[in-house]
Amino acid sequence: MATFARYDSFARSAIARAQEEARIAGHQHITPEHVVLALTHKPESVAGQVMRAVCGSVDAVREAVTERLEPTNESVSVPIPFDGQSKKVVELTTREALRFGDPSIGAEHVLLAVLSLGEGTAVDVLHALGLTKERAETEVRRLRAS
């Protein structure tokens, strides 16, 4: 798994918050959906700004993802492990930062990594809200240029 040393405070917060989202839902593993939910807690991050610009608000993203999660009443032991897809998201964050030529990994790279999966509930929800990887990349570049 990628080292978190290169993660900025927004990305680090999102990865840590994903565990809390899984615990709240009573899930035994952290999924990409929990990662997306975690990203909604920092609307001031680049990822939050992208979601707001494309999807209308981070609340719209949060509601759409939450609707697709199946809550359980199970007790969950901490720490909650990442599932295979979420491990892949963490690994892909480095690739996304490198593609942009960035020395650190931000929340925008986490969002792009989720979208890089190309399939799954989190990706389906984001696509339904109009947020594709290409659209996210365009929005990141626009935000950085302004």
**Separation of alpha carbons 135 and 129, rounded Å:** 11
Burial of 87 by CB count in 10 Å (0-12 exposed, 13-18 middle, 19+ buried)?
Answer: middle
Per-residue pLDDT band for 3 (boundaries 50, 70, 90) equals low
| pLDDT tops 80 at residue 7 | yes
pLDDT reported for residue 2: 47
pLDDT reported for residue 54: 97
CB contact at 8 A, 85 and 31: yes
Mean pLDDT of the chain: 94
* Residue pLDDT, tens place only, 97-136: 999 999 999 999 999 999 999 999 999 999 999 999 999 9
| pTM given for the model | 0.94
| pLDDT tops 70 at residue 59 | yes
The contacts of residue 102 (CB under 8 Å, 6+ apart) are 109
pLDDT, average across residues 4-24: 94
For 36, the enclosing helix (H) or strand (E) is helix 32-39
